Amino acid sequence: MIETAAPHAVRNALGDDPRLTDEHRALRATVREFADHVVAPQAYHYDAQRTLPMSIIAQMGQLGLFGLPFPAEYGGGDRDYLSLCLAVEELARVDQSIAVTLEAGIGLGVMPLFRHGTSEQKARWLPDLLAGRALAGFGLTEADAGSDASGTQTTAREDGDDWVIDGTKQFITNSGTPITSLVIVTAVTGEVRRADGSLGKELTCFIVPTGTPGFTVLPGYDKVGWHTSDTHPLVFRGVRVPKENMLGERGRGYANFLRVLDEGRVAFAALCTGAAQGCLEQAVDYAKSRVVFGHAIADNQHIAFTLARMQARVHTARLAYYDAALKMEAGMPFKTEASIAKLVGSEAAVANAHDASQIMGGYGYLNENAVARHYRDSKILEVGEGTTEVQLMLIARSLGLEQ
């Protein structure tokens, strides 16, 4: 049962990154303290209750975390995207569910509005979302649509001054919390002619406010991990929204959500890195304090080498997401780097959770231990926001290989 943070020497074993500013370091320290002293002590309780702790979400809002990468004119923090990634990493060290609430809340909930919304849409929705007083979900995934958006079955048709939406979505994060204010939904609005002359589906995004008649949030899933994260299937039956609720241009839904996913993968990679780091910290702390046959198990070369490999994974994952985030901020192409960061980070998290659990033996199998939760939680990191196979496909394409 280990919930306390490991010595800071573990965190800084490789020194600080010269690309981080003093503002970056101060933010990281603030969020780390919040994670260690507010989130970690309550993580087991809320995980067992399978409840998103709204008091913690409110405190994250007060810290300004939900507004970090957005302009001050909407109530944002005027910080860069790397700042968001640093905050997500620090939260994920102790509780992946809390981290993904922030990551998805911004990357999937707010970013589409910020990138593609009208001035009226931004003025209406962004202030509460950036303050953490509200959350938003992104309704993309369906039973037959996720990586393959052409499988989208949800439709939207024009009817007078409204759009009428029918269909279902699944695995939608932040869609049923007490403060969820809206869900952004992708829907088929017609057909488009592809470059090769064939017909494809025209996808458009819509803002659907919570409580709209016909919009039903079904009970949450019974998941292997991420027990605290809010995740639901959604049903839309004759849901009417005014035409001004269309988000972005008609037919640009596919292109717009690809941009959203590329950006989201960078922050998601930071979440993966935090999970891997958390496992490393707990394992080092345990290995130094656990005495067997008169010696700390850390003195065993096999244990020491395992911890060394865990550190190497964390370091590599962190460098990968730093690189992707900084290229994104500089306006450079970052799609491939985002996929690499997500791939490397998710594999590091899964491997470190396995190794940490093995080092800690029976203690690593108790749910009250953060490592056990990381062991359950980390599997989804190889699936969410693009599976491992999707990342490999995208990386292969960047090499000129047809996949």
Give every CB contact of residue 20 below 8 A, 6+ residues apart in sequence: 28, 82, 86
Find out whether 336 and 394 touch, Cβ atoms under 8 Å: yes
Find out whether 279 and 123 touch, Cβ atoms under 8 Å: no
DSSP one-letter code for 369: S
CA distance 235 to 217: 7
State which H helix or E strand residue 183 sits in.
strand 180-193
Find out whether 124 and 193 touch, Cβ atoms under 8 Å: no
Q: What is the DSSP string of 71-116?
A: -GGGT-----HHHHHHHHHHHHHH-HHHHHHHHHIIIIIIHHHHHH
What's the maximum distance between 2 C-alpha atoms anywhere in the chain?
A: 80
* Catalytic site residue from 347, 382, 385, 389: 385
Which has the closest alpha carbon to 312: 342, 351, 255? 351
What own/partner pairs with CB < 8 Å and gap ≥ 24 does 194-202 have? 200/150, 201/149, 201/150, 201/152, 202/250, 202/251, 202/253
CA distance 282 to 314: 13
CA distance 318 to 325: 11
337 given a catalytic annotation: no
Q: What is the DSSP string of 214-233?
A: TEEEPPPP--SS-TTS-EEE
Angle (CA) 271 91 54, round 5°: 115
Angle (CA) 319 338 271, round 5°: 65
Find out whether 208 and 239 touch, Cβ atoms under 8 Å: yes
Active-site annotation, residues: 385
